[in-house]
A and B are shown apart, each in its own frame.
Chain A
Amino acid sequence: MGTTASQLGKDLLSEYQELTFLTKQEILLAHKRFTELLTKDEKDLPNTRVPAERILTLPELKSNPFRKRICHVFSTSEQKDGSLTFEDFLDLLSAFSDSATLEIKSHYAFRIFDFDDDGTLDCGDLEKLVNCLTGETDETRLTTEEMRQLINNILEESDIDKDGTVNLSEFQHVISRSPDFVSSFKIVL
């Protein structure tokens, strides 16, 4: 798709603008940042995949506890290794941009939180999610008792059909009422 050209084609650029929530400047910036991640010989190849490790060196993602999940969700790689092409990268930025809709944000948020990719947030997912949010160190971890209580409370609130898991529609229902989800679910280059 010519993403390796130093300048994006004009048509392609306008297509990207049509397809993402990004402005022209943002797309160009994204392209610049993306090409910086490529090694020399990769720059000549079309449609290069940047492995997840290199994507995660971006300062915007470095300290995010969900960084691996984010790469995984937006990757179109066949091997499921979380590597991103430039277009995947644009998808990522578009979903996290200022002007993206609540619907698309909550969709991706759900997939990021769905650690085992099974389409629902079950107890295992929620536990992993809590562990991500409380950090890696032991002193901030919750005890098993607290964890159990917390997960029970969450399921009590948001599991409307009482099947023991939170599915996408329940998740979006909860998220859509939150006052600050849209303002904090943002990544800006």
Chain B
Amino acid sequence: MKKGRRDPEAKGGEREEEEEQPEMKRCKTAKRRKNIKNENARKMEEEEEEAEVRNAKRKKKHAKREKGEREEREEDGGKRRVKEKAREGRRRTHTRVETSSEPETSEEDELEEESEESEVRPESLSPEELEMLKEAVYERKKLVQGLRGKPWPMKEKLVTLRESQEFVEKYEGALGKGKGRKIYAYKVMMSKKWMKFQRDFENFKTACIPWEMKIKEIESHFGSSVASYFIFLRWMYGINMILFCLTFGLVMVPEALMGRPYGTIPRKTVPRAEAASAMDFAVLWDFGGYAQYSVLFYGYYNNQRAIGWLKFRMPLSYFLVGVGTVAYSYMVVIRTMARNANESGVGDDNSFNFSWKMFTSWDYLIGNPETADNKFASITTSFKEAILEEQESCKDDNIHLTRFLRVLANFLVLCCLAGSGYLIYFVVRRSQKFALEGLETHTWWERNEVNMVMSLLGMFCPMLFDVISALENYHPRVALQWQLGRIFALFLGNLYTFIIALMDEINLKREEEKIIKFNITMWEASLYNATGSENSTALPVTFHPADVPRGPCWETMVGQEFVRLIISDTMTTYITLLIGDFLRAVLVRFLNYCWCWDLEAGFPSYSEFDVSGNVLGLIFNQGMIWMGAFYAPCLPALNVLRLHVSMYLQCWAVMCCNVPQERVFKASGSNNFYMAMLLVILFLSTLPAIYTIVTIPPSFDCGPFSGKKRMFDVIQETLESDFPAWFSKVFSYASNPGLVLPFILLMVLAIYYLQSTSKSYKEANVDLKKKLQTQNEENKRKNKLAALKAQTDLEEARAATQTAEQKNNNASLQHQHAEEEEDLGSSQRKNGRPPPSVRHQDGRPPATRAPAPRTLHPDTHRSLGYLPGGGFPQQREPRMHRVPSLQRH
């Protein structure tokens, strides 16, 4: 009856079954005694039961109960299942022959002594009983906790859960006595409440993750690799949110609330010459006019040391936030990398290459037939590739041609890179010329040339690379890596040309600044002369701050450039998305009805979602944020906005107009790759920022550091004026080279030491792996030998029985034996399982079949030992067969 209902368990691991089998029988045969076994669970019925118990053979039953409880402790819950089964079985009608109970009797003896005192009634529990009860309750609780991890059908789990809970509830209270009782009940109640709270909190937490449903929807359409981009985007959004909170809360808001209001000093006022057009949309769009003279940019901030009634140290806060954003980003990226490396650390051995391809290559999340088709194709190719690699029949037909083509391709790519670099440099220089002549005289294109050229290059060069890479004839995986590397180089080259051009511009501005500074002193002197000798201390108030001449403020210029770059980059991304994906999809869809070839399957078709390109775009965008955030505090805010919109727009675009990729990649392998790129970009983008902060003196009349020689002097200033004298003294001692150099040396030594230990660990790991492998091979060989031997033994045994039976002249029996041997033999060869001990007691000469299983036993048992859940179907037939055959003997 079990076989029909719980098919898998019936096939369950033979070891388990071996244990289960006698018990199952017991349970079934001893229907009415059954309840005694979990006496504790049914104390209500115990009175009647106990009468029966006494009438029946006492020993046996005690033994059984004891054994039951012992086993409960041993294999948490596995037993209970049996009980469950038995109980259900009881309800059904089933006729099964009572078979031998030998295994039980053997255990009875050893358990006899401890079974005496357990017949006490529940009211007068002895300490031992109490202990046992407690343990049972504890066991039940543990069972309930582990229940979700059990591969049983829900019905069974439900029944077990309810019963266990009932049991626990019933006896938990009884456990404590008198005073302890209340506390115990209270504790139980609290733990229940706590569990419930935890569960609710867990539910709440999953409900709080933003865009979870959206990502899951995409995941189920396109598989995990496309979803990995969106998860990365979400992660990026989180980081930017924190950067935004930092700059917004500690820099922008304090300045806006407590700093001097707009229009009070020259740096916070739009100059007279620009005032007329300061509110024009075109100017604002370029972040000039009122936008330039606001908290969004560096130049607006005043160098007043403390502002407002809070005495907020504005310049210091500005500097620390700048450092903090970079430090936080480093920390997060490195921590994530370390965690990823930990998670994927086990997957580095290649010993299960084929099996993994076979058992784990299907992505069960795929819910879209097209993705599924692509996945089929990619799995097939991966199988074929693996087989080819295994055969090592990798024949290269014309190595010279491919070499030549590869060199040519790389040459072309280098040309592209150099060309794009030069183009950017050229454009930036030209724009400087335009800027000197005044922006108003030029067209929109001339004003936005730099950004547009950069965005267009970023858009078209990857396509060019893609075409070029067709020359190279690489393996697709290698080709993808080359492609990514080239795009990376392109973006990086563009960014750095841009920065170098900016540096040029900064130098120009500083020249200009010198002249203006000189002019201002002249202007002030003339003012002084004009106002004359009446009042030499006060400046004339008649001058509006808008009229005061001022320097070019290169920091704001840098900030503006970055903001413009981000804006135009965002725009191009969105526009390509709309044109390249949406419009294309619409055209393909609707023109297909009246076109001469199949547009959907043929040339234009629908676009794929380009995971790697999008990830690279995101990473470079982030790099620009890190670079520019110091000079334009509004950048993180802009980026948060951009990412937010991207999330919705790209989710929509993916779902509505993209088709799944032809080559479906797994996401898990690439995560750390992205992170490593992010780290490189982070490093490369902080370099120029740090360079400018450390080497270039700040503008004299704008920004929080104006008037200082270097920006980091603000630390020195704070130390001197805000901390007690001894502190700055200590600090100056600590920062002198005599102390710093040894410290650095120490750190280097520590790094060296840690690195060498990790290397030795790695070596040890490799060694251990080798050892394991050799051991494995040895085991395999041994097993093979053992199997061979068993087979020969079996043959011998068969021959022996046949001769014996010929002597016996019992035709029917002989037939039966032969059949039996057949079964037994096959099951042994399959599972290496020794026949049950019952067999030895049937009066036959054990020599006929004992040797084969015995030799087999130790090895195979060890290798199978660690999982009892396996299924061994062949087991079933022999056993079914055995029962009647036994009785006939």
Q: Which residues of A contact B (CB under 8 A)?
A: 1, 14-15, 17-21, 23-25, 59-66, 73, 76, 78, 80, 87-88, 90-91, 94-96, 101, 103-104, 107-109, 111, 113-114, 117-120, 126, 129-130, 133-135, 137, 140-142, 146, 149-150, 153-154, 156-158, 160-163, 165, 167-169, 171-172, 174-175, 177-181, 183-188
Are A183's CB and B668's CB within 8 A? yes
Are A134's CB and B380's CB within 8 A? yes
Are A165's CB and B362's CB within 8 A? no
Are A129's CB and B358's CB within 8 A? yes
Interface string of B189-230 (1 = CB under 8 A from A): 000000010010011001100000000100110001000000
Bound form: Cα–Cα A54–B216 in Å:
23
Of B219, B354, B365, B783, the contact of A157 (CB 8 Å cutoff): B354
The segment from B457-465, B579-587, B824-832 that touches chain A is B824-832
Interface size of B in residues (CB-CB distance below 8 Å):
90
Interface string of B583-604 (1 = CB under 8 A from A): 0000000000000000000000
Q: Which of B361, B364, B369 has the most CB of A within 10 A?
A: B364
Q: Which chain A residues border B377 with CB–CB below 8 Å?
A: 135, 140
User: Considering the complex, which residues of chain B in the window 345-363 have a beta carbon less than 8 Å from any beta carbon of chain A?
Assistant: 346-347, 349, 351-356, 358-363
Interface string of B616-631 (1 = CB under 8 A from A): 0000000000000000
Closest chain-A Cβ to B655's Cβ sits at a distance in Å of 13
Are B669's CB and A180's CB within 8 A? yes
Of B352, B356, B358, B829, the contact of A130 (CB 8 Å cutoff): B358
Q: Which chain B residues border A87 with CB–CB below 8 Å?
A: 153-155, 158
Bound form: Cα–Cα A79–B793 in Å:
42
Chain B interface secondary structure, helix, strand, loop or mixed?
helix
Residue of A nearest to B207 (CB): A25
Q: A119-B873, A153-B390, A188-B216 are in contact. List 7 more A-B contacts (CB 8 A).
A: A65-B376, A96-B364, A162-B780, A167-B872, A184-B224, A184-B666, A188-B219
Of A133, A167, A186, the contact of B864 (CB 8 Å cutoff): A167
Of A60, A153, A163, A178, the contact of B787 (CB 8 Å cutoff): A163
Top 7 nearest A-B pairs by Cβ distance? A119-B871, A179-B347, A135-B376, A169-B867, A87-B154, A168-B870, A63-B372
Closest chain-B Cβ to A58's Cβ sits at a distance in Å of 9
Are B362's CB and A65's CB within 8 A? yes
> In the complex where A19-B158, A174-B359 touch, is A179 in contact with B148 (Cβ < 8 A)?
no
Are B220's CB and A20's CB within 8 A? no
Chain A interface secondary structure, helix, strand, loop or mixed?
helix
Are A113's CB and B359's CB within 8 A? yes
Of A17, A80, A119, A179, the contact of B668 (CB 8 Å cutoff): A179
Are A119's CB and B870's CB within 8 A? yes
Closest chain-A Cβ to B351's Cβ sits at a distance in Å of 7
Q: Which chain B residues border A172 with CB–CB below 8 Å?
A: 867
Closest chain-A Cβ to B463's Cβ sits at a distance in Å of 29
Q: Which chain A residues border B780 with CB–CB below 8 Å?
A: 160-162
Are A88's CB and B154's CB within 8 A? yes
User: Considering the complex, which residues of chain B in the window 169-206 have a beta carbon less than 8 Å from any beta carbon of chain A?
Assistant: 196, 199, 202-203, 206
Q: Which chain A residues border B706 with CB–CB below 8 Å?
A: none
Bound form: Cα–Cα A120–B696 in Å:
72
**Interface assignment of B866: CB less than 8 Å from any CB of chain A:** yes
> In the complex where A63-B367, A118-B11 touch, is A150 in contact with B144 (Cβ < 8 A)?
no
Bound form: Cα–Cα A96–B366 in Å:
13
Residue of A nearest to B372 (CB): A63
Are B360's CB and A175's CB within 8 A? yes
Q: Which chain B residues border A88 with CB–CB below 8 Å?
A: 153-154
Bound form: Cα–Cα A111–B12 in Å:
11
Q: Which chain A residues border B5 with CB–CB below 8 Å?
A: 76, 78
**Interface assignment of B151: CB less than 8 Å from any CB of chain A:** yes
Are B371's CB and A160's CB within 8 A? no
**Interface assignment of B387: CB less than 8 Å from any CB of chain A:** yes
Bound form: Cα–Cα A15–B449 in Å:
64
Q: Which chain A residues border B829 with CB–CB below 8 Å?
A: 163
Q: Which of A126, A135, A184 has the most CB of B within 10 A?
A: A184
Q: Which chain B residues border A120 with CB–CB below 8 Å?
A: 830, 870-873
Q: Which of A1, A96, A135, A172 has the most CB of B within 10 A?
A: A135
User: Considering the complex, which residues of chain B in the window 840-881 have a beta carbon less than 8 Å from any beta carbon of chain A?
Assistant: 860, 863-864, 866-867, 869-874
> In the complex where A15-B161, A104-B149 touch, is A161 in contact with B864 (Cβ < 8 A)?
yes
Are B4's CB and A78's CB within 8 A? yes
Q: Which chain A residues border B372 with CB–CB below 8 Å?
A: 63-65, 135
**Interface assignment of B123: CB less than 8 Å from any CB of chain A:** no
Are B355's CB and A157's CB within 8 A? yes
Of A23, A25, A95, A142, the contact of B383 (CB 8 Å cutoff): A142
Are B383's CB and A177's CB within 8 A? no
User: Considering the complex, which residues of chain B in the window 372-415 have a beta carbon less than 8 Å from any beta carbon of chain A?
Assistant: 372-373, 376-377, 379-380, 383-384, 386-387, 390-391
Of A134, A158, A186, the contact of B376 (CB 8 Å cutoff): A134
**Interface assignment of B259: CB less than 8 Å from any CB of chain A:** no
